Amino acid sequence: MSNVPARFNWPVLAGAVPAVYACLLVASLLLWQVENFYPSLWLDMVHDAIAASRLGGLEYLLAPHNEHVIATSRLLFMLDAAFGATGMVPVVAGYLLQLGVALALSLLAWRELAPRGQWQALACVAAVVALTLNGSQLMVLSWGLMVQHVLMNALTVAAALLVARLLRAPASHSTLAPEVALWCVTAVGLMTLGSAVALPLAALALALLCGAPWRRVCRLALLAALSGGVYLYVRGQLAEGLGTHWPGLFDLARFALAAAGGALFRGTPWPSADPVSPLAYPAALACGAVLAFVALAQALQFLRTRGSAVQMPLALVGLFLLLLTFGTGVAAGLSRLEMLGPAEALSQRYAVFSSMGWVGAVLVVAQWCSSAAVRWRRLAFIGVVLVALVLVHRAQNREERIFTQWSDSVWQGSLALLLEIDDRYFLNTLYPGHEELAEFSRRHLAPAGQGIFHLVAVRYGQHSALAASDLPECEGGLEVLVAVPADERAGAFDAPGTPYRFSGSSRQPGSGAATRDVLALDPDARVIGYGRATRPRTKPREGSHETGARWFGFLRATSNTVADFVARTGAGEACRAGVAEVRAARP
């Protein structure tokens, strides 16, 4: 037995560090989503739900959404409607799809790289996982409407794997199965998002670069032509406006570069009021240029050595993802550049697609480094991965903070809808057409118990079993109770009474349990208002007696009365958070 001490495997540690870092980032994102789920019925989702209530099933599925047909997403919306139309079904589906994409690409990277060095394989998998499922995608992942982008991303990766199999097959072998599968993926893609037209185009480009047999090239060209025809037909059905004008070539190229490189940058403040860094757009352009260089270098290598594709599966898949990322950027620019401006390229709605461009570049560079005998290149690759993970971490912190605040805003707007509160400021969060929103809620949401009516069991006017006078006093309590100013009332609801906003902070006496929600009760224990906990702030406001979780809500006074505020916890505890007189304005 040798007495020589075993040497510590530093390369494995170098690969394990980014792997652990990536797992922590993904776990943090999933935990955020569990703690911050919010209803998906706001803005375009409300518009789509209203369309669903007016159209027949097939007509609704095939009705254009901007320049897209989103039938696959609408199938999920219809399933979600059967479970309360809260947005839970598309949100869960989106996360599962992204996890599936991360798993498929990670297995591919591990199978290719592990035999040559497990530490480099660990680093590559870490980058793939963190870039595939990261916090900069929160707008897409947490809003049910955006599941169309996640579906398209999953189809893109499926197409990439099929094309890699197709182009690596010997000329004498039949490729019927992957070709048929690619046709099916493209057909489903065209029912998912207009950018699916780029799938067969990218496959055709790779086939030409890799010197595929001419019969395969012709079949791919036919698929590309048919897909392009469908795309142009759908665009031709649009009314004058979004997506009907073609921008200049130079502006379109800049837009596509910024969209590809902007995965981890924010170019517009919405839904936050925070200022945007002036360096975000130049940084996105620079990153887009780097991705374009990687794609061009790999394309030239395939063109120069036609048989190399067989030995480079990571490069094949990576280049396909890069081509799709730029193709999606071009499609987005054709539809939105002239109307929304160049900053739209950094919209978080494209974060899933641009993240795939970064993943594609990682796969290509990993393939390059795995083929090199020089160890420092592999160590440099790990360094690049760590830098990418730090950028992911920074973007995730920013987006979690922004969408934590936005989730509160959506909940508050939804409570105004639940209680029929004519408050323009909060209803605007959900939908600018207040009368249309109120009518849709009265005719469809409330009778069917969908949306906020599914998530919250409280109803205006229902009797509560709690007697406020018998409850102990809370630690903290009501802080603000103010009538909605007359000039801020939307006039959307026919509900009687004067609308009020209220807020405060409280904990249960003794146990210190945080407040989950608050009931506003009249002397007959009828519910006249409701509020829910918001995210706690880092420090109390000056002069506030805030001691626990903050809450915000609305009440509607139909007569001059006294309102008791009862704070409840998830465990069934309750305490009296305050009492105040409310008045109903004379009609």
Tens digits of residue pLDDT in 26-45? 999 999 999 999 999 998 99
**How confident is the model over 157-166, as pLDDT tens digits?**
999 999 999 9
**How confident is the model over 102-122, as pLDDT tens digits?**
999 999 999 999 888 788 899
**How confident is the model over 413-469, as pLDDT tens digits?**
999 999 999 999 999 999 999 999 999 999 999 999 999 999 999 999 999 999 998
Tokens standing for 538? 């880092």
Which neighbouring-strand residues pair with 505? 477, 550
5-9 contacts, C-beta under 8 A, 24 or more apart: 9/119
* Rg of the chain over all Cα atoms, to the nearest angstrom: 27
- Three-state secondary structure call for residue 5: coil
Contact yes or no for 144/90 (Cβ under 8 A): yes
User: Looking at this protein, which amino acid is placed at residue 386?
Assistant: L
Tokens standing for 349? 């709605």
Average pLDDT over residues 352-359: 96
Contact yes or no for 29/399 (Cβ under 8 A): no
**How confident is the model over 465-522, as pLDDT tens digits?**
999 989 999 999 999 999 999 999 988 998 999 999 999 999 999 888 989 999 999 9
Provide the pLDDT for residue 587. Answer: 57
Rounded to the nearest angstrom, the gap between the alpha carbon of residue 337 and the centroid of all alpha carbons in its chain is 21
Angle in degrees, 0-180, between the axes of helices 280-304 and 198-209, rounded to the nearest 10: 40
Contact yes or no for 43/430 (Cβ under 8 A): yes
Provide the pLDDT for residue 1. Answer: 47
Could you write out the DSSP letters of every residue in 468-480?
GGGSPBPEEEEEE
H-only helix segments in 191-312: 198-209, 214-236, 249-261, 280-304
Contact yes or no for 91/40 (Cβ under 8 A): yes
CA pseudo-torsion sign 505, 143, 29, 456: positive
Beta strands, E only, 42-100:
64-65, 68-69
Query: How high is the mean pLDDT of the chain?
Result: 90
Per DSSP, 67 falls in state T
Q: What angle do CA 99, 101, 102 make, to 5 degrees?
A: 65
d(CA 203, CA 327): 12
**How confident is the model over 356-382, as pLDDT tens digits?**
999 999 999 999 888 655 666 777 888
> What confidence category does residue 66 fall into, taking pLDDT thresholds of 50, 70 and 90?
confident
Number of C-beta neighbours around residue 577 at 10 A: 31
Phi and psi of 469, rounded to 5°?
A: -65, -20
Provide the pLDDT for residue 542. Answer: 47
The size of the chain, in residues, is 587
Picking from 309, 335, 156, the residue whose alpha carbon sits closest to that of residue 232 is 335
Provide the pLDDT for residue 544. Answer: 45
Average pLDDT over residues 194-221: 94
Q: What angle do CA 172, 177, 183 make, to 5 degrees?
A: 120
d(CA 450, CA 414): 12
Tokens standing for 346? 């950094």
d(CA 189, CA 139): 21
Tokens standing for 179? 């070709």
Q: What angle do CA 243, 267, 35 make, to 5 degrees?
A: 100
Is residue 124 predicted with pLDDT exceeding 90? yes
Sorted by sequence, the CB contacts under 8 Å of residue 264 that are 6+ apart come out as 134, 136, 391, 392, 394, 395
Residue 400, H or E segment: helix 375-419
